[in-house]
Structure 1
């Protein structure tokens, strides 16, 4: 917006004049921004008004025993899964819903049907591919067939007798198979490599849907954009693959001596006690037949406890290395990297274990203990996807891009693997929170090796609050795919950064954020739980912020309206008038510069906008001013920075 000419014509004449922009029409309503009754629900025995789980909080549990075989010639998985399900809810359950994510890749899958003709992350690159599960049998634990129906990516098992509340248990066995998609919505797939394909295997078995006190059964179909919502449980997994393959899985390997050569087992054990990366299978050894046991196939046995999913990868082309992760209170874990020779060298995947170890150690020390026995990074054709204790990252990533994707995907172990929000509905509680902690980790890694500020928030404000954007508080499925990066990742992460650095302060914010993590570790928080937790932990009323930044796509436009001297005398100080022209309020920071070059800063809390559209305040200056700058550090998302500065003329 255009600035009107100033009335004064020189610095000397300032003492004799009033200088101002014209008063501008404001779209701001303080009664709307600071309206009461923000929360839709009162606290109860299940979810406290303070944002913590209530004394009667409950969630159900599902344990899995899985055996599966990889056919690397036909690109198929054949498996059997035994599910033991506990109903801890206060409700009897007449049926149980399961997720069948692979059905998205069948010709009849809703996800395929809604994939655009233009390039999309969600779908399969091969238009002729027809995947999905083949279910051979569904029985109870005694082997008796059960009644079930499959609809797209969901299976409903209809119980002959209702499952009792508060501790009722049931179980199922499902025999299944499917063809692995070459590019499965950037979450699973097959990478062609010179020494053998890399199979990145995820969403590879039927999983129980979450039953909660928010909406009962959570059965939103899997169509790609919205990720997951899962119950916690224990996993026992056996993967049979060709003997020339190495199988890595996000869990603790139970039979390393059976699946490694004697030399590899020795190196594997050494890595557990080394802070430096230990090569378990080198690039040179990949081409040597004796670098794998002389058998037709091998079965790899893994366990993982108190997790909400499990994933794995298998390839004959894997270079394998590892190093010890040092956790809080003397605990240890193991960083492992698996990658083909094409990803090795020139500051690329040979540093993957270093990056994985650093990220896990940082998040453990800063926020919450890492709970898993391993952290496995796999180079694949999946650009970046997280599962408990295992991540798939782009095989061509190197240097800063490899650090960035590794840091991001392993950060997901905290959001949503430990703090398990509903990604299908609230993707920002997953991607946004993780992106926020990623920046802090990058700043601390290796003396900031890859840390750099890209632009300033003023330059980002136009895209963050573009009126064409949906609000953050929408499901990923109901966002334009082009907007998902901003709305799930960047805008919520920037919002938390604003809260931490400009609105609350790092000490109070970090305390409340850590408390939120510890309170909701291995549980299912909602957005209201997070909002309440942060307000109670920091002692701030942040309704205005949640309302403007998350529930709505409100814009910020602060402006300097007028600068005058008290009694027209610069020695008595100056009065600055600022306006809030758009719907989003924010604190005000100004920096005044005097004729002698002295800089005077003043910060005003957001409460100045509780009952004002414009506000006058005093600067204790003793001489004429040559400029006044709003937001001098350019940290606020003001989308019209042109009216943020007043200059004497």
Structure 2
């Protein structure tokens, strides 16, 4: 109820400033700027801080047995100025104890059972009967002072879910493990502890931490994980370790493990069990997959021309999945394009791995993608998930509270790379079909501003997370031009990589990076209940051409083309960027200069699909 009251007050405040178009900030978040942890310059404030942890995790998996056993040591560093008398633990696996994602039934066997927990060596209070949600507060015997640390030792087990989803059983001897360990929740400068419940729909918010992961599996099982494999020569037979090493510098796909190799059972060291060891630093999460029946392909790609750094690209999949035989090269293309075009930031991690599963879901250095029969669509999905590398894994956005800060960007990069891969028409058609059409042609009476916190977005939530913010980013790109937009975006990313940006950090960074006053634009797109609907009300002959009177019924500051058909049968297209709406976002007059006689004029928004095209055309009498 408090959240709903907060939302109501926030929206009232925002709407009361409609005329001034100021980017109002909710009071609790505004305190972060007042205290100096954040800055109106777009940069982190001089007093910015974030907490950090070191995780040393050991997992034991023995498929087809679905019982997962884990032991971890967490060293948690309190970099905040606050005294912490408790820690909030995230137990995402407990989502299965309730009605889960897509309305699935509860799976009472799938929750995490903590077998033992010690804090600074002393046994801590824990009751598995009450620790059944995705948040569990644990009291500290001694307060954790600022700039001090605490050590937790936890052992736990749970039963892996058989549902098709973000993690769980893929086939009887192929598992994907995500959110498999108790972790310390984010404690930040604007909300304190992140206690947002995970219900299976919205995604995640994690601190940047350092990980060492040990995965113990029976012989002949392969493991793929976030991070860098530290002991390939101990877990792989020499010829397969050599293939893996060759893939680190190869543009061509190296078939590390083929169906014949899997049948021969000669890939791994022939100990009863092998322990694979991975490390990853300053990253928000780790996931891994195990299988004794998945092919293993790999190659690499140059992502940083200055340092000549290459990134390893891997794929793990059933041999029957024809699309996954292309995934290494699809991923090489994506990493190359993102690194050299937009965002134009070299892929920041040493590896990426695509695993065939069910989720179409991103994780640091990992993708869990479903099998697709359409290769074009398969590449689109993989491009989208890999694009998430930048948002939320390079930029630690809060997916569970401001979903548009990661999904909107991944959707934007999806169409931009799709245009390079398949051409503008195909990419635009994909984008309109999957991201725009349903929303723009649907009802808009209950439209909610994009800035609405994600848990409170009750109408067209997916559109507020994906399509609408993506359109705003693309509209801004159209208005600023490619070069200035890239400069502004890279300013934002430079300011906040490895940190926790919120929407206002984006707004201020883009203004600083572009050198433009953009409050009016951000207010238009993020603070209003607008949609897309232009009306060409009147066309009048002028001395130098024609004057077009246009009403913005929907309200969004969109770019559009005026498509002219002349009396002689020829056509012309005059583009208008969103800057035409800066002074008046409801009614404008646009002058089209031409010496030719015009037969008809149509307003065409392209991917900015108009809700009602019937009022977009004028025809001469």
Q: TM-score, normalised to structure 1's length? A: 0.84
**Alignment equivalent of 2:288, drawn from 302, 306, 312:** 312
Q: 2:97 aligned with 1:121, yes or no?
A: no
The structural deviation recorded for 1:151 is 5.5
Aligned residues of 2:580 and 2:588 also touching (Cα < 8 A): no
Higher relative contact order (CA 8 A, sep 6+): 1
Residue 34 of structure 1, CA deviation: 5.0
Q: For 2:217 and 2:148, how far apart are their aligned partners in 1? A: 37
Contact kept, 8 Å, 2:64 with 2:173, in 1: the verdict is no
- Cα deviation code 1:163-192 (max 9, x no counterpart): 111x111110111000000126x2101112
Q: d(CA) in 1 for partners of 2:85 and 2:55? A: 21
What is aligned with 2:157?
177
Q: Give the direction of change, closer, same or farther, for the CA distance of 1:325–1:550 in structure 2 (3 Å limit).
A: same
Q: 1:628 to 1:513 in 2, by over 3 A?
A: same
Cα displacement string for residues 572-624 of structure 1 (whole angstroms, at most 9, x for unaligned residues): 64433223334434456534444344647364764556358544454444454
Residue 136 (structure 2) aligns with: 155
Q: What secondary structure, in the 3-state scheme, does the structure 2 residue paired with 1:73 have?
A: coil
Alignment match, 2:46: 55
SS at match of 2:429: coil
Where does residue 639 of structure 1 map in the other structure?
Answer: 611
Give the direction of change, closer, same or farther, for the CA distance of 1:648–1:226 in structure 2 (3 Å limit): same
**1:133 aligned residue:** 112
Q: Distance in 2 between matches of 1:350 and 1:476?
A: 37
CA displacement at 1:289 relative to structure 2 = 2.6
Q: Which residue of the other structure, out of 543, 553, 567, is the alignment partner of 1:581?
A: 553
3-state SS, counterpart of residue 341 of structure 1? coil
Partner residue, 1:626: 599
Report if the CA contact (8 A) 2:395-2:496 is conserved: yes
* 1:362 aligned residue: 337
SS at 1:425 equivalent: coil
- Partner of residue 247, structure 1: 223
Which residue of structure 1 aligns with residue 78 of structure 2?
87
**What is the rounded CA distance, in whole Å, between the counterparts of 1:351 and 1:629 in structure 2?**
42
Secondary structure of the corresponding residue to residue 317 of structure 1: coil
CA contact (8 A) 2:94 2:132 kept: no
Q: Which residue of the partner structure matches residue 16 of structure 1? A: none
Q: How does 1:603-618 map to 2 (within 5 A)?
A: 603=576, 606=579, 610-611=583-584, 613-618=586-591
In structure 2, do the counterparts of structure 1 residues 618 and 320 end up closer, same or farther at CA, with 3 Å as the change threshold? closer
Of 537, 542, 547, the residue aligned with 2:518 is 542
**Contact 2:428–2:607 (Cα < 8 Å) also in 1:** no
Q: Which deviates more from structure 2 when the two are superposed, residues 639-648 or residues 595-604?
A: 595-604
Change in CA separation of 1:275 and 1:244 when aligned onto 2, cut-off 3 Å: same
| Matched-pair contact (CA < 8 Å) for 2:602–2:617 | yes
Distance 1:612 1:413 in 2: 35
Q: 1:332 aligns with which of 286, 303, 310?
A: 310
Q: Contact conserved, 2:557 with 2:585, CA < 8 A, in 1?
A: no
| 3-state DSSP of counterpart to 2:61 | strand
Are 1:99 and 1:206, in contact at CA under 8 Å, matched by a contact in 2? yes
In 2 relative to 1, CA 396–285 (structure 1 residues): closer, same or farther, beyond 3 Å? Answer: farther
By how many angstroms is 1:456 displaced? 5.5
SS of structure 1 residue aligned to 2:378 = helix
Distance 1:214 1:154 in 2: 19
Partners of 1:520 and 1:639 in 2: how far apart? 36
Give the match's secondary structure for 1:610. coil
Q: Secondary structure at the match of 1:121?
A: helix
For structure 2, the residue ranges without an aligned partner over 5 or more in a row are 1-14
Q: Which string of whole-angstrom CA distances, capped at 9 and with x for unpartnered residues, describes residues 86-105 of structure 1?
A: 11111111111110111111
In 2, are the aligned partners of 1:421 and 1:524 still within 8 Å (CA)?
yes
- Matched residue count: 591
User: SS at the partner of 2:332?
Assistant: helix
Aligned match of 2:4: none
Larger CA Rg, structure 1 vs 2: 1
Aligned match of 1:258? 234
Distance 1:398 1:236, change over 3 A: farther
For residues 13-60 of structure 1, what are the alpha-carbon distances to aligned partners after superposition, in whole Å with 9 as ceiling and x for unaligned?
xxxxxxxxxxxxxxxxx9975524323238452111021111221100
Shift of 1:471: 3.6
Query: Once superposed, what is the RMSD of the aligned Cα atoms?
Result: 2.8
Matching residue of 1:25: none
Aligned-pair distance for 1:398? 5.3
Give me the TM-score of the superposition, normalised by structure 2: 0.88
What is residue 389 of structure 2 aligned with on the other side? Answer: 413
**Contact 1:600/1:621 (CA < 8 Å) preserved in 2?**
no
Deviation at 1:460, TM superposition (A): 6.0
2:450 alignment partner in structure 1: 472
Question: 3-state DSSP class of the match of 1:646?
Answer: strand
Equivalent positions of 1:28-47 (< 5 A) are: 35-40=20-25, 41=30, 43-44=33-34, 45-47=36-38
273, 282, 290: which one aligns with 2:258: 282
Indicate the residue corresponding to 1:434 in structure 2: 410
Q: Which runs of 5+ in 1 are unaligned?
A: 1-29
2:58–2:215 Cα contact (<8 Å) kept: yes
Which shifted more, 63-72 or 637-646?
637-646
Alpha carbons of structure 1 residues 614 and 547: separation in structure 2 relative to 1, 3 Å: closer
Q: Distance in 1 between matches of 2:438 and 2:518?
A: 23
SS at match of 2:466: helix
Checking the alignment, whether the CA contact within 8 Å between 1:422 and 1:524 is kept in structure 2 is yes
Residue 453, structure 1, aligned to residue 425, structure 2: no
Distance 1:201 1:397, change over 3 A: farther
Shift in Å, 1:539: 3.1
| Aligned 8 A contact 1:408 1:435 in 2 | yes
Contact preservation (8 Å) 1:59, 1:211 = yes
- In the alignment, is the contact (CA less than 8 A) between 2:196 and 2:400 conserved in 1? yes
1:224 aligns to what?
200
The alpha carbon displacement at 1:447 in A equals 7.7
Q: Partner residue of 1:494?
A: 471
Instruction: Quickly say closer, same or farther: Cα 1:245–1:397, change in 2 above 3 A.
Output: farther
Deviates more, 1:44-53 or 1:363-372: 363-372
